[in-house]
A and B are shown apart, each in its own frame.
Chain A
Amino acid sequence: MLLQLENVGKSYGAIRALDDLSLTVERDEIVALLGPNGAGKTTALEIALGLRRPDTGTVRLLGGSPDAPSVRRRLGATPQETGFPDELRVDELVAFAAAHANDAPDVARTIERFGLSSLAGRRAGALSGGESRRLAVALAFAGDPDLVVLDEPTTGMDVESRRMLWSEVRTAASGRSVLFTTHYLEEAEALATRVVVLAHGALLFDGTPHALRHRFGARRLSYVGKPLDPASAGIDGELIEIGGRVVVTTADTDAYVRALVGSATHFEALEIAPASLEEAFLSMTGAVR
């Protein structure tokens, strides 16, 4: 086990940031910490990195305390996007991060891997937002760590650069474990082998992206006609009637259609559309409120 948070609680004054959160990262896992803003993702990450102390519960990072330098030698983390010293060049920053590893890792390879070759001689102060993000992620991998922790690696990037960075992270992640926060469901699905969803500081879901899609990624079926209760057909789902249409949200629309036809219920103008994942996800995380 590379990271273990056990029953961690943390409050800032009256605000409960984390509520009895238990979370692990195993070898070779890429874990997404997913949740809306204010869900406690950043606090969980800061506690894992030793930047904050939990009020209750325990943290074990790479078999030790996050405070021990010997432990942190096997850890790679991202600085916040705007945080680089402006005067330093991209190659100097990557070399600086790499200098903390036990055996000298290949700086040039890290620079190339994250598409920074053409920017190597540029000062950090002259980078665009997306380039800064890329550099931040490169720094986390520069020291050849066993566990990489990325805080919202692609926030503020356009779709294309985001996809590119995902593929770079996927390649660089081989042979190590990654924990990253994101509020993009798509990002969690694209990168993670396991997804942990937080809402209001508590764990809402912990499972594979496939299971996540099953739970949050429902499809929406609608028709004009008599409502058929999904439960009566043995299907998980919700039925509402809006504007003269019956709207059923379920993960298994195929089974519902079969049931609908089988029941000889009168229906017309049938439509099936994927429910927006974000929407489903937000309604689920919001429901805990």
Chain B
Amino acid sequence: MKLALLFAHARMIALVLLRSPGFIVPSIAFPAMFFALFALPYAKTTAIADVETLSFMIFAISGVCLYQFGVGVAAERGRPWERYLRTLPVPPGTRLAARIVCAAPLGIAAAAVVAIVARLFTPVDLSAAQWLLAFGLAFVGAIPFVLIGITIGYWASARAAVPIATAFNLLLAYAGALWMPPEMLPHLVQAISPYLPTRAFGDLLWSIVGSGNAARGLAVLTVYAILFALLASVGYRRDERKRYA
């Protein structure tokens, strides 16, 4: 992969993002706002605050992945500009990498705002090493969400991608116990919850403060990554056949 090409494409995506404040500001602020509304009132002890902070950081990151890749891919693949990009000597892998390079800081920023709000207004108590570990593990946990996003991007129309990504983001966060402890979820949701990628992401990050099952989390995330890598590649080929046959 040529770095200059990766840089050129990442720069283009980043400039478009940075000049769309109507998109970037809500993406970063929305999860922290949710955190302030729904988690702050309960985060009275360090134990609860730690778990809630990590949970809303996951909500922030999964949202960025679903929107950047789901809505982004769905909107762009039908545009005339996309046809022009295809005439350029750039492999699809480089373009995907550019998208990842741009989504990462956005995800980090959205999660960091949650962390800052938590530090300011809750008794959250993570060491520097724990914070670092949380952000590091978040990159692993984000992989299936990137792939779910790409799958939405290739299977949904540009118009449908926004509500679909939103529904995935909110429903998965709720049922994956990111907004409240699993015990507080309705029974039916409690039964499905352990099999959801958001819950698995939670298990991975909650393990940092000793309350999640990291091994189970990783296993579930791996299954989702494989499943959606397949669905995304089928969707990609289907789009290629439809548009460029």
Contacts and interface: CB of A to CB of B under 8 A. Distances in A.
Contacts, number: 67
A97 B81 contact: no
A85 B16 contact: yes
Interface in B71-116: 79-81, 83-84, 86-91
27 contacts: A50-B87, A51-B83, A51-B86, A51-B87, A52-B245, A53-B244, A69-B89, A70-B89, A71-B89, A72-B88, A72-B89, A73-B89, A77-B87, A78-B84, A79-B81, A79-B83, A79-B84, A80-B80, A83-B84, A85-B16, A87-B16, A88-B12, A88-B15, A92-B12, A96-B8, A97-B88, A100-B5
Contacts of A97: 88
A100 B89 contact: yes
A84 B76 CA distance: 11
Size band of the A side of the interface?
20 to 34
Nearest to A76: B87
A83 B83 contact: yes
Interface in B1-23: 4-5, 7-8, 11-12, 15-16, 19-20
B156 to A, nearest CB: 21
A116 interface: no
Given A80-B84, A83-B80, A84-B81, A69 B91 contact: yes
Contacts of A69: 89-91
A203 interface: no
Given A53-B245, A87-B20, 11 more contacts: A50-B86, A51-B87, A69-B90, A69-B91, A72-B88, A77-B87, A79-B84, A80-B84, A82-B80, A83-B79, A88-B16
B80 A87 contact: no
Contacts of B90: 69, 100
Nearest to B76: A85
Contacts of A84: 81
A96 B85 CA distance: 11
Given A88-B15, A92-B15, A83 B81 contact: yes
Contacts of B83: 51, 79-80, 83
Contacts of B5: 99-100
B12 to A, nearest CB: 6
Interface of B: 4-5, 7-8, 11-12, 15-16, 19-20, 79-81, 83-84, 86-91, 244-245
Contacts of B11: 96
A40 to B, nearest CB: 17
A221 interface: no
Contacts of B87: 49-51, 72, 75, 77, 149
Interface string A77-115: 111101111011000100111011000000000000000
Interface of A: 49-53, 69-73, 75, 77-80, 82-85, 87-88, 92, 95-97, 99-100, 139, 149
Nearest to B20: A87
Interface of chain A, helix or strand or loop or mixed? loop
B78 to A, nearest CB: 11
Contacts of A100: 5, 8, 88-90
A85 B58 CA distance: 31
B89 A99 contact: no
Report which residue of B12, B83, B86, B89 has the largest number of chain A beta carbons within 10 angstroms of its beta carbon: B89
Contacts of B19: 87
A71 B245 CA distance: 20
A97 B19 CA distance: 20
Nearest to B244: A51
A85 B86 CA distance: 15
Nearest to A10: B245
A100 B85 CA distance: 11
A51 B86 CA distance: 8
A254 to B, nearest CB: 48
Contacts of A80: 80, 83-84
A78 B6 CA distance: 21
B53 to A, nearest CB: 34
B29 to A, nearest CB: 20
A153 B215 CA distance: 59
